[in-house]
Amino acid sequence: MSTSSAPAAPVLFQEKLWPSAGTWVWPVLIAATAGVAIAPISVLGGVLTGVAVLVSLVAVFLVRVPVIEVTEETLQVGRATIERKFIGEVVGFRGEEAFKERGQRLNGLAFMNLRGWLDAVVRMEVTDPRDETPYWITSTRRPEELTAALGGVMDEYREDQPPASDRPEVN
């Protein structure tokens, strides 16, 4: 009896959004605080508590790293997946325009995978008429590669739109 499954679609783009070096300061500070809180009762208990909290937080940080993966058929951002046939316009942003996409122009109904330690974002329009989500937006270290894998373009290279700074705000 054969249990072979269909071959996996080739991956066109993949990225793990690892926390930045500065982000790792927080688990250390939280663990130290927990240890200091217990230390007046027992120094050994404080040290053990601090180590346990640090190990737990590092484990959570490592397990919760979102993955962005593009195949010919699907787009996966973290735990969410959408068929590529429902992805419309794809635009990548850096700098001030990325800041505006994450703030002033952000639609509250959008699917968001934003990480504070990453500057660039990619916005992917959702064209599924059954889905109320207008677009997906995700942080990325490699917006040029992600937009290319999805057939999109970076904001500064779009010819059919006025510069993003001249466009009206999206409500």
Determine which helix (DSSP H) or strand (DSSP E) holds 13, and give its type and residue range.
strand 11-16
Average pLDDT over residues 8-36: 91
Residue 136 has pLDDT above 80, yes or no: yes
Separation of first and last alpha carbons in the chain: 57
Average pLDDT over residues 121-145: 96
Main-chain dihedrals φ then ψ at residue 9, nearest 5 degrees? -70, 145
- Please give the pLDDT value at position 110: 96
User: What's the pLDDT at 161?
Assistant: 60
Cα dihedral across residues 157, 160, 162, 165: positive or negative? negative
pLDDT over 70 percentage in the chain = 88
Per residue in 60-91, pLDDT (tens digit) is 988 889 999 999 999 999 999 999 999 999 99
Look-up of token digits 């190990």: 55
Distance of CA 141 to the CA centre of its chain: 10
If pLDDT is split at 50, 70 and 90, which confidence band does 158 have?
confident
pLDDT for 16 equals 95
Q: Distances in Å between the alpha carbon of 86 and those of 74, 93, 125?
A: 9, 21, 8
Residue 37: pLDDT over 80: yes
Q: What's residue 74's pLDDT?
A: 95
**Contact status, residue 14 vs residue 32, Cβ threshold 8 Å:** no
pLDDT tens per residue across span 95-118: 999 999 999 999 999 999 999 889
Angstrom distance (rounded) from CA 146 to CA 16: 12
Concatenating the DSSP letter of every residue in 15-64 gives: EE-PPPGGGGHHHHHHHHHHHHHHTTT-HHHHHHHHHHHHHHHHHHHHHT
In this structure, what token pair is assigned to residue 57?
Answer: 């937080």
Residue 167 reports pLDDT greater than 60: no
Whether residue 127 is predicted with pLDDT greater than 90 in this model: the reply is: yes
Q: Is the pLDDT of residue 164 over 70?
A: no
Q: What whole-number distance in Å separates Cα of residue 146 and Cα of residue 96?
A: 19
Mean residue pLDDT of the chain comes to 89
- Nearest residue to 48 (alpha-carbon basis) of 40, 58, 38, 60: 38
